[in-house]
Amino acid sequence: MLVELVQHPFDPWKALQDYQQRQLPAGQFGATAVFVGTMRDFNKEESVEVLFLDHYAGMTERELHRIVEEAQDRWPIQEVLVMHRVGEIRPAEPIVLVVVWSVHRGPAFESCRWIMEALKSRAPFWKKETGPAGERWVEKNTPG
User: Residue 8 belongs to a domain with what CATH number?
Assistant: 3.90.1170.40
d(CA 80, CA 115): 10
* 10 inside domain: yes
Per-residue pLDDT, 44: 87
Residue 139 within a domain: no
Look at residue 92 and tell me if it is in a domain.
Answer: yes
- Decide: 10 and 94 in contact? Cβ < 8 Å: yes
| Res. 142 pLDDT band, cuts 50 70 90 | low
What value does the mean pLDDT of the chain take?
96
CA atoms within 13 A on the CB side of 70: 15
Q: How many domains does the chain have?
A: 1
45 located within any domain: yes
Separation CA 142–CA 144 (nearest Å)? 6
In a domain, 104, yes or no: yes
Q: Whole-model pTM?
A: 0.95
User: ∠ at Cα 15 (31, 128), nearest 5°?
Assistant: 110
Using the predicted structure, report yes or no on whether residue 57 has a pLDDT greater than 90: yes
Q: Is 61 within a domain?
A: yes
Q: Is residue 105 part of a domain?
A: yes
Can you tell me the mean pLDDT for 92-109? 98
Per the structure, the complete domain to which residue 100 belongs is given by 2-19+32-134
Q: Does any domain span residue 126?
A: yes
